[in-house]
Amino acid sequence: MKTIVALLACLFVMNTTMNAQTKDEKEVLAIVESLRQAMMNKDRATLEKIAADELVYVHSAGLLEDKASFVNNIASGKFGFVKIEYPDVTVKITGPNAVVRHKITGDTNNDGVPATVNIGVLLVFQKQKGEWKLIARQAYKL
């Protein structure tokens, strides 16, 4: 009986440790959520703050944007997100970089044309002067 209890305790500790998030992972997840909210709310200031000056933002259809066009197209509503969810988010910290993968599902309204979206996304953040900045985004069709 002691062996079973010890084994269960060990498995519990291993599971808790494996699911624990580092401080950086928590910060990146918070930034990803801020990005999601800013895209839905067309929040120019937050988009400007999250995006690095050297941002490379690629849409699933292949359109390539820099920081200025990304921010302007979201803030103006050219690419509008009515409702978006980010299921299956994973974060991997590698030095000063964070690689985030997730899906985007929801409703869009691009130039007044409603549609649904179901794509995969790869985000790359870099810690610059103590803040996580989005330096790259690549979307792909599922």
Domain that holds residue 45: 22-141
Query: pLDDT tens digits, the chain, 142 residues: what are they?
Result: 554 444 444 444 444 334 579 999 999 999 999 999 999 999 999 999 999 999 999 999 999 999 999 999 999 999 999 999 999 999 999 999 999 999 999 999 998 899 999 999 999 999 999 999 999 999 999 9
Residue 11 in any domain: the answer is: no
30: tokens are 């918070």
Q: Is residue 7 part of a domain?
A: no
Cβ atoms 97, 132 nearer than 8 A? no
Q: 2, 106 in Cβ contact below 8 A?
A: no
> What is the domain count for the chain?
1
Evaluate whether residue 93 is within a structural domain.
Answer: yes
Give a yes or no: residue 13 inside a domain: no
What is d(CA 17, CA 69) in angstroms, rounded to the nearest whole number?
41
Looking only at the bridges linking them, the beta strands covering 90-94 and 97-110 are antiparallel
CA distance 125 to 137: 9
Contact 102, 89 (CB under 8 A): yes
Q: Which of 111, 76, 104 is nearest to 89 (CA)?
A: 104
pLDDT at site 17: 39
- Whether residue 14 is contained in a domain is answered as no
Report pTM: 0.84
Residue 17 falls within a domain, yes or no? Answer: no
Q: Please check whether residue 37 is in contact with residue 46, taking contact to mean a CB–CB distance below 8 angstroms.
A: yes
Query: Does residue 10 sit within a domain?
Result: no
CATH number at residue 114: 3.10.450.50
Query: 5 in a domain, yes or no?
Result: no
